[in-house]
C-alpha cells in the first residue's frame, strides 16, 4: 500500500494534481479502514490528511459558518458556534454512529464517501449548504444539492478536495419548524434505513417556504423538489395527501436489502412527512 | 516510517507501515494485550483507547493517526485515581462476566467520569453507546458507573 | 447467599486476563480457514495465487487427515473438510498457515475456488412439505388419551416461525495447537465450553499418529452462550492438523466476519400448534404440536436440541391429550448448534403465542386463561413426569402482581382507543429442565476432584469452564459455604484434560446444578469423614495427611428413569421455572416497538451468589428480548449477515429496564440458571405487541418491516 503524507494543504493539492492513479484520502479513518478490511481498497495509494489543521477550523462570519472538512462530529456536537447558529444541526446529529466514532469521523469524510446513507447529507441539503472545492489551481463553490450525480458519483474532480462546508445563516432563522429523523435498526451505531430532514416556514396556515431532503432512499441523498413545489404557497387545509404520496413515489425510489424493505422505507418516509405537516 | 507518540505516559516510537492499524501496533508491537479485537469495524468498542483524552476505536485508526499524540489503554488508566475507582465499582457489583468488552468499557467510562461524571443514567447510556456487551444486559455496568460517579462526587471529584 | 466477588473481575477490567489471542508460543505460525462461498456446488478448481512462495505455506485438506474424517459429535456425520462437493455456505474446504499474518491474509484473499453451482435450500419456509428434506432423528411424544373432541370445542391452529440467532460472544472462536513431535503429543489451548469433546475431536482427526492429546482452556473465555459447544471441535481438529503437518505451534483466531459466517447458530424453527379448547371451562383439552428445526446440512447437535425442544413443546400447561412430533429438516446452511435455551426458546415462542391466540378467540383475558390451564402440583408433562411443585404458578402470579399487569392492561386498552401510538403489556411463562436430557447425566458419568494442601488451600478440579457466567467463583463459593471454609482459600483450576477429571461439558445449565451440587456433596463428605468442625484448624493439626485429593462421581437418582424410545419418564429431574411481563410502546409512524420494562420472576432454587445470578439473568433476558424484537441473521434473497454492522446487537440505548427477582430460594438445591432466562421473554414481547395493537404476528423478531407487512395485511382483510 503506497502512502503519502503532505506537510500542508498546498503540498497535498500539488501532489494529487500530478497523480494518475486512484487514491484515497485518509482523514478520521472510520470508513477507509472498514474498506481496507473488507478488501475494497488494496493497492491504491493512501494520502493522510488528518493532521492538516488548516482544514479543521470552524469560521464564523456575519452571514455564514464555514466548517473545515476535517471537523469531527464530536466537534460539531460541542461547538458553541454551531449551537448558537444551527442548533438543529447539532440536535440532529446527536446519535451519529457512536460517541467513539464521533471523535474520529469527519464531516468531509461523511460527504466524500458518497454513501446514500450518510447521516449529514439530508441535513446539509435542507440547510442549503455549499461546498468549497479546491485544487492546486482552482477554487469553486458548488451547492450540495448539485454535488451528487449518481451512486457514489460526484462533481469532485480527481485533483480536487472538499475544503469547506459553508452554511448560510440567511434563511435558517426564518423557518418555524424543523424535523430530522433517522430510522435505523437501533438507537446507536446504526445505518439509516430511511432519513428525512425538513424545514418549514408558515404564516397564517400558509406554507411560505418548505425544504425537504431524503437519505437512504435514492442512489444519493437528495432534495425532493416536486414535493417542495407542491407545498409552497398552499394552505394546510388544502393539502391533498394522495397527491403528496404520488409525488413522493416519483421522488424516492427505495430498494430492498438485508437491512430493510422498499415498501417499508417508502411508507415510513411518507408517515414522517405527513406527521410533520399535520401535527 | 518512524512514528512517535506517548503511550500510557511513556514516550515511544516505532518504525512501521503508517497505515498499520493502531490496534495491531498496540497488540503486536507493544504487546498491550488489554486492547481487544472483536468486530474489527468500529461496531463494538472492545478495542477502545483514549487518544488525546477522547475514547476512540483503535481498529479504525492507523498508527499515523497517533503521531505526536497521547494514547492510554485500559491498563494505563487502571493506575489513575478514576480508573481505580471504576475497577472497584465493577468488581463490587459483580458486573464483569466474560470480560472481553470491559477494557473498552473502562476507557469509555473513565472518559465519562473525567469529562462529565454526573450520576445520570440517561447520560451514562449515551456515553457508553459505542461499547457492546453481550453478557450482562448492561444493568450492572450502569450500576457500576453510577456508583463511581457518586463516589467521585463525594471525594470532591478528586481526579 | 453471599455476594462473593469474582476472582477474575479486576484483571478482566484492566485487560490482563488472557484470552486465546493473548497467548504466544515460540515459532508460532498463523492459520486461516478457507470455506465455501456457495450454498451447494461441485468444486471445479482451486487456484493458489502465483505471486507467493507456496512452499512457505502449510496447507491441509481432507486427504491430509491421518485419522477419521468425521467430527465426533452427538451425531457423527460432519466431516472436518468438504471433499469434492460443498453442501453449505461456510463449509471448510482447506486450511492454510504461514508465519506472517499479513502474508497469510493476502494469500487467503487471493485463493480462487471455482464451483459448479447446484440447487440449494437456504430458508426454512422452502422446506415445507418436502419430505426429502426431513432427515435424521424424529421424536414422537404420544400422550394421547382418547379425548373425544366435542362439537362446541374451539379449534385453534397456527404455524409459528423463529429465526436464526447468533451467539455473538465477543471473543471470536480461537484455537492454538502445539505439536510435540518427539513425544507425539498434541497440546491444545482454546476458547471452548467442552474441553473433553475437543480432546476427542483432535484424537479423531490425528488417529494413531499421536500418543496423547492435552486440552486446556485459555484463562478467559470471551463468552460462549452455546456457540463454543461444538464448533471448537472442528476448529481444534483442523488447527491440530496444521500443527502436525508444519510441526510448529499454530494459532487460528477467526475474524468476526468468518466467525459469524461459518459458526453454529440457534436453529430456525417451524412449529405448528393445533389445540381444542372447551369454551365452557376454558380448559385446553387436546393439543398437537409439529415441531421442526432447520438443522443445517448435518445433524451434529440437532438431535439433542430436538429432544429438549419436544420435551418443552407443550409449555407450562396441563393438557390431558397431547401429541408432539419433532423432526429435523435439512438445508444448505452451516449446521446449527447450541445456543442458550437449546430448542426451548423456539417451543415457548410457539406455545406462549398460541395461548394468547386461544384466549383472544375465547374473548377472555390471557392472564385468566393461563391461570386456568397452568401446571399445578400433581399435573403431568406429556412425558408423564409428574409436576411436583407449584412454583411455576407462583412465578406467574407474582409477576402479574409485580408488573401491575391487570391495571396496566386495562389502562392501555383505554389509551389505545384514542391514540395512534400504542402501549402494550404482555405475559409469558417458561421453564428449563436442568442438566442433560433423560439419561444423559447417567451416561456422562461426571467426576470431580478436590485437592486440599498443607495450607488448607482448596483447589477444585473440573472440566467445566468459566466463560463469564461466574461458574468458577460460584463453585468455589459453594465449597466454602458448605463447610464454612474461607472463600479466599478456595480455587478452581483452569480446565485441563490431563489434570482435571471429566466433569462433563459446560452446557445445559448443568455446571452449578450438577457439578456444583457434586462439589457441595463432596465438601460435606470430606467434613463428615474427617469429623472436623473447621477445615483450616484440622489441616493445621493434621499436616501429615495433606496434601490430599478427594474425588467423587455423579450419583444418578435410582428412582427415576427415562425411555429414550418413547420419551416417557423423567425428562429432567429438576426444572427452573419463570414468568415475565414485558411492557412496550409502539410507534405508529415508524412501526417500531420500544421496549420499556421487563419483569422476570425465576425459581432457580438456592441462589448461591445473588449478584452473579441477577447479572446472568439480566444478560439472558436481554438476549431473549433481542431474539423477540430485533435479531435475525438471514433474509431470503439477500443472504446471510457478515459482521456486527449488519447483525445489530442491542446497545445501551436499546434496552428496557430489567427487573429480576427470585422466588422459593429456600430450596437446598441450586438449580439451572444459565438458560431459563432465554426461554420466555421473546413471546412476551410478541404478546405485548398483540395487546397493544390487536395484530397477531406468528413470527419473530418483531422488526418494523415485519410489523408493517402484518399491518398492511390486516387492513386488507
The residue to which cell 443445517 is assigned? C296
Which residues does B contribute to its contact with A (CB < 8 Å)? Answer: 1, 17-19, 21, 40-43, 45, 48, 51, 54-57, 59-62, 64-65, 67, 108, 126-127, 129-132
| Dist. CA C613–CA C616, nearest whole Å | 5
Q: How far C539 CA sits from the closest chain B CA (Å)?
A: 31
- Establish whether the linkage from the previous residue to C547 is cis, with ω within 30° of 0: yes
Distance CA A97, CA A252 (A): 24
**Do the beta carbons of residue C163 and residue C268 sit within 8 Å?**
yes
Question: CA of C153: how far to CAs of C148, C286, C358, in Å?
Answer: 10, 10, 11
Q: How far apart are CA C61 and CA C80, in angstroms?
A: 9
* H or E element at residue B82: helix B81-92
Give the C-alpha separation, C679 to C662, whole Å: 16
List Cβ<8 Å contacts ≥24 apart for A249-252: A250/A226, A251/A214, A251/A218, A251/A224, A251/A225, A251/A226, A251/A227, A252/A214, A252/A217, A252/A218, A252/A224
Chain B: touching chains (3 or more CB pairs < 8 Å): A, C
Write down the architecture of domain A176-278 according to CATH.
Answer: 2-Layer Sandwich (3.30)
Nearest Cβ partner of A186 from C639, C651, C709? C651
- For residues C344-354, one letter each, b for 16 or more C-beta atoms within 10 angstroms of the residue's C-beta and e for the rest, the string is bbbbbbbbbbb
The residue behind cell 389509551 is C415
Neighbouring-strand partners of residue C496: C216
A189–B129 C-beta distance less than 8 A: yes
Query: Which of C197, C229, C262 is the C-terminal boundary of a domain?
Result: C262
pLDDT for res C717: 43
For residue C622, the chain B residue with the least C-alpha distance is B137
5-44 in chain B: CB under 8 A from chain C: 27, 33-41, 43-44
CA B152 to CA C164: how far, in whole Å? Answer: 44
Q: C186 to each of A132, C555, C686, how far by Cα in Å?
A: 63, 33, 49
Which of C211, C236, C262 terminates a domain? The answer is: C262
Going by the DSSP 8-state scheme, the letter that residue B59 receives in this structure is G
Q: How far apart are CA C343 and CA C341, in angstroms?
A: 6
CA distance C102 to A219: 35
Give the strands of the sheet with A45-48, arranged side by side.
A3-4, A45-48, A23-26
Which chains reach chain A with 3 or more Cβ–Cβ distances below 8 angstroms?
B, C
C-alpha to C-alpha distance for A88 and A68, rounded to whole angstroms? 19
| Residues whose CB is less than 8 angstroms from the CB of residue A85 and which lie 6 or more positions away in sequence, other chains included | A60, A65, A167, A169, A172
| pLDDT tens, position by position, C542-570 | 999 999 999 999 999 999 999 999 999 99
Main-chain dihedrals φ then ψ at residue B142, nearest 5 degrees: -60, -45
CATH of the domain at C236: 3.90.1170.50
Do residues B99 and C220 make contact, with C-beta atoms less than 8 angstroms apart?
A: yes
Please answer whether residues C90 and C332 qualify as being in contact, where contact means their C-beta atoms are separated by less than 8 angstroms: no
Interchain proximity C13–B102, CB inside 8 Å: yes
Which of C255, C631, C704 to mutate against chain A (most A CBs within 10 Å)?
C704
Distance from CA of C177 to the nearest CA of B (A): 20
Peptide bond into C701 cis (omega under 30): yes
How far, rounded to the nearest angstrom, does the alpha carbon of residue C356 sit from its chain's CA centroid? 26
User: Residue C458 is part of a domain; what is its CATH number?
Assistant: 3.30.365.10
Give the residue extent of every domain in chain A: 52-168, 176-278
Cell of B127: 456515553
Q: Which residues of A touch B (CB under 8 A)?
A: 1, 3, 5, 26, 28-30, 33-34, 36-37, 46, 48, 50-51, 74, 97-101, 103-104, 187-189
Interchain pair C705, A191: CB under 8 A: no
Between vectors from CA C291 to CA C285 and to CA C297, what angle results, nearest 5°? 175
Same domain, C574 and C548: no
Helix, strand, or coil here: C172? Answer: coil
Q: CA B91: distance to chain centroid?
A: 17
Cell of C344: 426451548
With CB atoms and an 8 Å threshold, state whether C708 touches A183.
no
Cα atoms found within 13 Å of the Cα of residue C180, Cβ hemisphere only: 11
Rounded to 10°, the helix C366-373/C405-418 angle is: 150
- In chain B, whose CA is at the least distance from the CA of A52? B65
- Among candidates C591, C637, C648 on the partner chain, residue whose Cβ is nearest the Cβ of A186: C648
Instruction: Confirm if A227 and A276 have CB atoms less than 8 A apart.
Output: no
Nearest to C630 among A39, A185, A263 (CB): A185
Q: Same domain, yes or no, for C525 and C590?
A: no
Nearest CB partner across the interface for C223, out of B74, B135, B142: B135
How many CB atoms are located within 10 Å of the residue A245 CB?
14
Characterise A97 by phi-psi region: left (phi > 0), alpha (psi -120 to 50), beta (else).
left
Partners of B62 in the β-ladder:
B21
For residue C673 the three cell numbers come to 440458571
CA B61, distance to chain mean position in Å, is 15
Which residues lie below 8 Å from residue C374, measured CB to CB, with a gap of 6+? C316, C317, C318, C392, C393, C396, C429
For residue C128, what pLDDT is reported?
67
Q: Which fold has domain B77-154?
A: DNA polymerase; domain 1 (1.10.150)
pLDDT lower than 50: segments of chain B = 159
Q: Where are the alpha helices (DSSP H) in chain A?
A: 9-17, 32-37, 73-78, 80-85, 87-92, 99-102, 107-112, 120-126, 144-147, 225-231, 241-251, 262-278
Quick one: which of A95, A32, A103 has its CA closest to B51? A103
Instruction: For A90-110, give one letter per residue: b (16+ CB within 10 A) or e.
Output: bebbebbbbbbbbbbbbbbbb
Q: Which of B54, B41, B43, B5 is nearest to B26 (CA)?
A: B5
* pLDDT of the residue at C509: 96
How buried is C494 (Cβ within 10 angstroms: 0-12 exposed, 13-18 middle, 19+ buried)? middle
pLDDT at C125: 83
Q: Compute the nearest-CA separation of B69 from chain C (Å).
A: 22
Give the cell for residue C338.
447450541
Domain span at residue C426 reads: 269-436+568-716
Nearest-by-CA chain B residue for A45: B19
What per-residue string of b and e applies to B29-66 under the rule 16 or more CB within 10 Å gives b?
ebebbbbbbbbbbbbbbbbbbbbeebbbbbbbbbbbbb
Show the low-confidence residues of chain C (pLDDT under 70): 128-131, 716-717
Chains that touch C (3 or more CB pairs under 8 A): A, B
Which of C635, C648, C703 minimises the CB distance to A190? C648
Instruction: Specify whether the backbone of C315 is left (phi greater than 0), alpha (psi in -120 to 50) or beta.
Output: left
- Among candidate residues A144, A167, A182, the one with its CA nearest the CA of residue A82: A167
- How far is residue B114's CA from residue B81's CA, in Å, rounded to a whole number? 10
* CB proximity C655 to A under 8 Å: no
**B2-73 CATH fold:** Ubiquitin-like (UB roll) (3.10.20)
Q: Classify residue C159: in a domain, yes or no.
A: no
Q: How many domains does chain C have?
A: 3
- At B157 the pLDDT is 57
Interface of C with A in 693-712 (CB under 8 A): 703-705, 708-709, 712
Question: Among B41, B100, B133, whose Cβ lies nearest the Cβ of C644?
Answer: B41
Indicate the residue of C3, C6, C171 with minimum beta-carbon distance to B96.
Answer: C6
User: Which residues in B lie closer than 8 A to residue A41 (C-beta atoms)?
Assistant: none
Are residues C318 and C234 part of one domain?
no
Contact present, C633 and C643 (Cβ < 8 Å): no
| DSSP code for C132 | G
Sign of CA dihedral C379, C380, C382, C384: negative
Residue C112 is predicted with a pLDDT of 98
Which class for A132: exposed (0-12), middle (13-18), buried (19 or more C-beta within 10 A)? middle
* Closest CA–CA distance from residue C199 to any residue of chain A (Å): 34
Angstrom distance (rounded) from CA A92 to CA A95: 7
Partners of C427 in beta bridges: C581
Claim to verify: residue C427 and residue C455 sit in the same structural domain: no
CA–CA dist C223, C339 (Å, integer): 12
Q: For residue C1, is it within any domain?
A: no
Would you state the torsion angle of the CA atoms of residues C622, C623, C628, C630, taken in this order, to the nearest 10 degrees? 90
Q: Distance (Å) from the C-alpha of residue A20 to the closest C-alpha of chain C?
A: 25
Contact B94 C168 (CB under 8 A): no
Task: Among C247, C262, C277, identify where a domain stops.
Answer: C262
Name which of C167, C221, C655 is nearest B137 (Cβ-Cβ): C655
Subunit contact B98:C616, Cβ cutoff 8 A: no
CATH of A52-168, one of 3.40.50.720, 3.40.50.1860, 3.40.50.80, 3.30.465.10: 3.30.465.10
Beta bridge partners of residue C113, listed in sequence order: C46
CB within 8 Å of A261: residues ≥ 6 apart:
C705, C708, C709
Measured in angstroms, the CA of A25 and the nearest CA of chain B are apart by: 12
Q: What is the pLDDT of residues C650-690, one digit of tens each?
A: 999 999 999 999 999 999 999 999 999 999 999 999 999 99
Q: pLDDT, tens digit, for every residue of A187-246?
A: 999 999 999 999 999 999 999 999 999 999 999 999 999 999 999 999 999 999 999 999
CA distance B88 to chain C (A): 8
For chain B, domain boundaries = 2-73, 77-154
The confidence score (pLDDT) of residue C126 equals: 78
Residue count of chain C: 717
Rounded Cα distance, C384 and C392, in Å: 17
Question: Which pLDDT band, with edges at 50, 70 and 90, does A43 fall under?
Answer: confident
Amino acid at each position: 500500500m503506497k502512502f503519502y503524507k503532505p506537510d500542508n494543504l498546498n503540498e497535498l493539492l500539488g501532489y494529487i494534481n500530478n497523480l494518475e492513479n486512484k487514491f484515497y484520502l485518509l482523514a478520521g479513518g472510520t470508513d477507509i479502514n472498514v474498506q481496507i478490511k473488507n478488501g475494497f481498497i488494496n493497492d491504491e495509494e493512501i494520502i493522510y490528511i488528518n493532521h492538516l489543521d488548516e482544514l479543521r477550523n470552524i469560521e464564523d462570519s456575519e452571514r455564514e459558518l464555514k466548517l473545515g472538512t476535517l471537523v469531527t462530529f464530536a466537534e460539531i456536537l460541542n461547538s458553541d458556534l454551531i449551537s448558537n447558529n444551527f442548533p438543529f444541526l447539532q440536535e440532529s446529529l446527536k446519535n451519529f454512529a457512536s460517541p467513539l466514532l464521533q471523535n474520529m469521523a469527519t464531516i468531509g469524510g461523511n460527504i466524500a464517501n458518497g454513501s446514500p446513507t450518510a447521516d449529514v447529507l439530508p441535513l446539509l441539503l435542507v440547510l442549503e449548504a455549499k461546498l468549497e472545492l479546491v485544487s492546486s489551481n482552482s477554487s469553486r463553490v458548488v451547492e450540495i444539492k448539485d454535488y451528487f450525480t449518481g451512486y457514489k458519483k460526484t462533481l469532485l474532480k480527481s485533483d480536487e478536495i472538499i475544503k469547506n462546508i459553508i452554511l448560510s445563516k440567511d434563511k435558517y432563522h426564518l423557518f418555524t419548524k424543523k424535523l430530522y429523523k433517522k430510522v435505523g435498526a437501533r438507537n446507536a451505531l446504526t445505518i439509516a434505513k430511511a432519513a428525512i430532514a425538513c424545514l418549514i416556514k408558515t404564516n397564517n396556515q400558509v406554507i411560505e417556504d418548505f425544504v425537504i431532503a431524503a437519505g437512504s432512499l435514492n442512489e444519493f441523498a437528495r432534495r425532493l423538489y416536486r414535493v417542495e413545489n407542491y407545498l409552497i404557497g398552499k394552505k394546510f387545509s388544502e393539502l391533498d395527501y394522495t397527491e403528496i404520496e404520488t409525488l413522493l413515489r416519483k421522488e424516492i425510489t427505495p430498494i430492498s436489502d438485508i437491512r430493510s424493505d422498499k415498501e417499508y422505507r417508502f411508507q415510513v418516509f411518507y408517515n414522517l412527512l405527513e406527521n410533520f405537516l399535520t401535527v | 516510517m518512524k512514528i512517535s507518540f506517548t503511550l500510557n505516559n511513556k514516550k515511544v516510537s516505532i518504525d512501521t507501515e503508517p497505515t498499520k492499524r493502531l490496534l495491531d501496533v498496540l497488540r503486536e508491537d507493544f504487546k498491550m494485550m488489554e486492547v481487544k479485537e472483536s468486530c474489527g469495524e468500529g461496531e463494538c468498542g472492545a478495542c477502545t483507547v483514549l487518544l488525546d483524552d477522547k475514547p476512540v476505536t483503535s481498529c479504525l485508526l492507523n498508527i499515523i493517526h497517533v503521531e505526536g499524540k497521547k494514547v492510554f489503554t485500559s491498563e494505563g488508566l487502571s493506575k489513575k485515581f478514576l480508573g481505580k475507582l471504576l475497577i472497584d465499582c465493577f468488581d463490587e457489583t459483580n458486573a464483569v462476566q466474560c470480560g472481553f468488552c470491559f477494557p473498552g468499557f473502562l476507557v469509555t467510562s473513565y472518559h465519562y467520569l473525567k469529562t462529565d461524571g454526573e450520576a445520570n443514567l440517561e447520560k451514562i447510556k449515551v456515553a457508553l453507546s459505542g461499547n457492546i456487551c453481550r453478557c450482562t444486559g448492561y444493568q450492572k455496568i450502569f450500576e457500576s458507573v453510577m456508583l463511581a460517579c457518586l463516589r467521585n462526587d463525594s471525594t470532591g471529584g478528586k481526579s | 447467599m453471599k455476594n462473593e466477588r469474582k476472582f477474575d473481575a479486576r484483571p478482566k477490567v484492566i485487560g490482563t486476563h488472557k484470552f486465546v489471542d493473548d497467548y504466544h508460543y515460540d515459532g508460532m505460525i498463523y492459520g486461516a480457514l478457507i470455506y465455501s462461498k456457495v450454498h451447494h456446488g461441485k468444486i471445479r478448481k482451486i487456484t493458489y495465487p502465483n505471486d507467493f512462495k507456496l512452499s512457505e505455506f502449510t496447507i491441509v485438506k481432507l486427504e491430509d487427515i491421518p485419522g477419521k474424517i468425521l467430527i465426533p459429535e452427538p451425531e457423527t456425520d460432519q466431516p472436518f473438510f468438504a471433499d469434492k462437493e460443498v453442501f453449505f455456505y461456510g463449509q471448510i474446504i482447506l486450511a492454510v498457515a504461514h508465519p506472517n499474518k499479513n502474508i497469510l491474509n493476502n494469500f487467503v484473499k487471493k485463493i480462487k475456488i471455482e464451483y459448479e453451482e447446484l440447487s440449494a435450500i437456504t430458508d426454512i419456509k422452502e422446506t415445507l412439505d418436502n419430505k426429502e428434506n426431513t432427515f435424521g432423528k424424529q421424536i414422537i411424544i404420544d400422550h394421547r388419551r382418547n379425548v373425544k373432541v366435542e362439537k362446541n370445542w374451539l379449534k385453534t391452529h397456527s404455524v409459528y416461525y423463529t429465526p436464526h440467532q447468533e451467539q455473538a460472544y465477543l471473543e471470536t472462536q480461537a484455537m492454538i495447537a502445539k505439536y510435540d513431535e518427539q513425544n507425539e503429543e498434541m497440546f491444545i489451548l482454546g476458547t471452548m465450553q467442552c474441553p473433553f469433546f475437543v480432546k476427542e475431536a483432535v484424537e479423531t482427526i490425528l488417529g494413531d499418529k499421536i500418543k496423547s492429546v492435552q486440552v486446556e482452556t485459555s484463562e478467559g473465555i470471551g463468552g460462549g452462550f452455546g456457540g463454543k459447544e461444538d464448533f471448537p471441535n472442528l476448529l481444534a481438529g483442523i488447527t491440530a492438523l496444521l500443527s502436525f503437518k508444519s510441526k510448529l505451534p499454530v494459532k487460528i483466531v477467526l475474524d468476526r466476519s468468518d466467525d459469524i459466517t461459518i459458526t453454529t447458530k440457534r436453529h430456525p424453527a417451524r412449529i405448528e400448534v393445533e389445540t381444542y379448547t372447551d369454551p365452557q371451562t376454558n380448559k385446553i383439552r387436546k393439543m398437537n404440536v409439529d415441531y421442526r428445526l432447520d438443522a443445517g446440512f448435518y445433524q451434529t447437535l440437532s438431535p439433542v436440541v430436538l429432544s429438549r425442544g419436544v420435551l418443552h413443546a407443550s409449555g407450562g400447561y396441563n393438557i390431558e391429550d397431547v401429541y408432539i412430533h419433532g423432526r429435523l429438516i435439512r438445508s444448505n446452511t452451516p449446521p446449527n448448534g447450541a445456543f442458550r435455551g437449546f430448542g426451548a426458546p423456539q417451543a415457548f415462542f410457539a406455545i406462549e403465542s398460541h395461548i394468547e391466540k386461544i384466549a383472544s378467540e375465547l374473548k377472555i383475558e390471557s392472564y385468566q386463561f393461563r391461570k386456568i390451564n397452568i401446571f399445578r402440583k400433581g399435573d403431568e408433562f406429556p412425558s408423564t413426569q409428574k409436576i411436583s411443585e407449584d412454583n411455576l404458578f407462583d412465578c406467574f402470579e407474582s409477576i402479574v402482581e409485580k408488573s401491575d399487569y391487570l391495571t396496566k392492561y386495562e389502562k392501555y386498552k383505554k389509551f389505545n382507543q384514542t391514540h395512534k401510538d400504542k402501549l402494550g403489556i404482555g405475559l409469558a411463562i417458561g421453564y428449563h429442565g436442568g442438566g442433560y436430557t433423560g439419561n444423559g447425566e447417567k451416561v456422562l458419568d461426571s467426576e470431580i476432584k478436590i485437592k486440599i494442601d498443607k495450607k488448607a488451600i482448596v483447589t477444585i478440579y473440573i472440566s467445566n469452564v468459566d466463560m463469564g457466567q461466574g461458574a468458577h467463583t460460584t463453585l468455589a463459593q459453594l465449597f466454602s459455604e458448605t463447610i464454612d471454609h474461607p472463600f479466599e482459600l478456595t480455587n478452581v483450576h483452569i480446565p485441563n484434560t490431563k489434570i482435571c477429571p471429566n466433569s462433563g461439558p459446560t452446557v445445559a445449565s448443568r455446571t452449578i446444578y450438577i457439578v456444583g451440587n457434586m462439589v457441595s456433596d463432596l465438601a460435606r463428605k470430606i467434613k463428615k469423614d474427617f469429623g472436623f468442625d473447621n477445615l483450616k484448624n484440622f489441616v493445621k493439626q493434621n499436616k501429615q495427611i495433606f496434601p490430599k485429593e478427594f474425588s467423587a462421581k455423579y450419583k444418578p437418582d435410582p428412582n427415576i428413569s427415562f425411555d429414550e424410545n418413547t420419551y416417557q419418564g423423567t425428562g429432567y429431574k429438576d426444572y427452573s421455572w419463570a414468568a415475565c411481563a414485558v411492557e412496550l410502546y409502539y410507534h405508529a409512524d415508524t412501526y417500531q416497538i420500544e421496549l420499556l420494562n421487563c419483569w422476570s420472576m425465576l425459581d432457580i432454587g438456592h441462589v448461591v451468589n445473588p449478584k452473579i445470578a441477577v447479572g446472568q439473568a439480566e444478560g439472558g433476558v436481554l438476549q431473549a428480548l433481542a431474539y423477540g424484537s430485533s435479531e435475525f441473521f438471514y433474509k431470503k434473497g439477500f443472504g446471510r449477515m457478515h459482521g456486527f454492522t449488519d447483525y445489530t446487537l442491542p446497545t445501551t440505548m436499546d434496552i428496557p429496564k430489567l427487573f429480576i427477582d427470585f422466588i422459593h430460594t429456600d430450596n437446598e438445591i441450586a438449580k439451572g440458571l444459565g438458560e431459563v432466562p432465554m426461554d420466555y421473554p421473546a413471546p412476551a414481547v410478541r404478546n405485548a405487541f398483540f395487546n397493544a395493537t390487536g395484530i397477531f404476528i406468528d413470527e419473530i423478531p418483531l422488526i418494523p418491516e415485519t410489523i408493517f407487512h402484518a399491518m398492511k395485511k390486516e387492513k386488507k382483510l
